[in-house]
């Protein structure tokens, strides 16, 4: 197993363990739904937290709460996004979505509780109090109307817009919907160390956009079996995507360009950032 694959696996396991521990003794079915909703993911965001911390000489145990926090926040967004009132999906990670396995009310409450848990966890991050407070504030901004939720709202509005979004508008939408939480994760390390986050912030913005373009490509080329969720939904809904605007080859070229740019911006960290460079290539080469 390569260094990146091992780091990704360890990050996912660490985050899952921390979340499970935080939920010990929680309300029966809601707790089960929360654990279910956080199971089976890639752990990419937790990995970014831990790698950015490592680059700033911060131990994994000190960044563990932040890593678990971002995975809880991401899981909440997926549980709610799958609901009939939003994206209306029956499958997630190859398994029934939370509202299908339980019911809509349980899914809403599990998502709400995961969001609350994210803030509980990030407030436990082992770093100076000023840095901890900044992490809480920046997570709220990344997850809220200026970040993920704002991007989701734009995405929903685009479904009924008379004029399809152009490339600039889709880029802005995805910077919130997908990119904001990725950027938060990748800048946890410098935030904890109260250091400059410029390079890792740019890395994350390029990575987040490449990730979304890869998602659009997989929606065209992927299958339910490999992706673990429905495919072709954007095309059938007539939504503008990076593929519909750039073409399949153009979208692939754009994703590769972004991955290259993400790697280049890490030059200040030298070989210490090689695992993050592997992550950039993973994002555009993944099959799920």
| Domain parsing of the chain, residue ranges | 3-285
This prediction has a pTM of 0.95
pLDDT of residue 236: 66
Other CB atoms closer than 10 Å to residue 91's CB: what's the count?
15
| CATH architecture, domain defined by 3-285 | Orthogonal Bundle (1.10)
Rounded Cα distance between 47 and 45, Å, is 5
Interatomic CA distance for residues 286 and 83, integer angstroms = 26
Query: What integer is the mean pLDDT of 80-96?
Result: 95
pLDDT tens readout for residues 27-72: 789 999 999 999 999 999 999 999 999 999 999 999 999 999 999 9
Q: 36 with 93: CB under 8 angstroms?
A: no
Query: Residue 271 gets which letter from DSSP?
Result: G
- Sequence-separated (6 or more) residues with CB below 8 Å from residue 172: 154
181-195 pLDDT, tens digit each: 999 999 999 999 999
């Amino acid at each position: 197993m390569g260094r990146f694959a091992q780091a990704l696996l360890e990050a996912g396991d660490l985050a899952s363990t921390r979340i499970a521990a935080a939920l010990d003794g929680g309300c029966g079915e809601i707790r089960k739904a929360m654990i279910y909703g956080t199971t089976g993911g890639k752990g990419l965001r937790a990995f970014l937290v831990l790698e950015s911390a490592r680059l700033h000489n911060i131990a994994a145990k000190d960044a563990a709460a932040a890593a678990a926090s971002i995975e809880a926040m991401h899981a909440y967004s997926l549980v709610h996004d799958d609901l009939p009132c939003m994206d209306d999906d029956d499958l997630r990670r190859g398994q029934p979505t939370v509202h299908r396995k339980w019911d809509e009310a349980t899914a809403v409450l599990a998502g709400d509780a995961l969001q609350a848990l994210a803030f509980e966890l990030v407030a436990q991050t082992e770093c100076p109090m000023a840095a901890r407070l900044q992490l809480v504030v920046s997570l709220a901004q990344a997850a809220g109307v200026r970040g993920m939720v704002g991007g989701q709202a734009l995405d929903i509005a685009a479904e009924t817009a008379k004029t399809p979004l152009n490339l600039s508008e889709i880029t802005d939408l995805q910077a919130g919907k997908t990119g904001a939480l990725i950027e938060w994760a990748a800048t946890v390390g410098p935030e904890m160390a109260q250091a400059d986050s410029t390079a890792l912030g740019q890395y994350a913005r390029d990575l987040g956009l490449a990730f979304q373009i890869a998602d659009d490509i997989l929606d065209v080329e992927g299958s339910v079996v490999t992706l673990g969720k429905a495919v072709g939904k954007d095309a059938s809904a007539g939504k503008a995507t990076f593929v519909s605007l750039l073409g399949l080859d153009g979208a692939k070229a754009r994703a590769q360009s972004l991955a290259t740019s993400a790697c280049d911006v890490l030059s200040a960290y030298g070989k210490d950032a090689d695992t993050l460079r592997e992550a950039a290539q993973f994002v555009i080469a993944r099959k799920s």
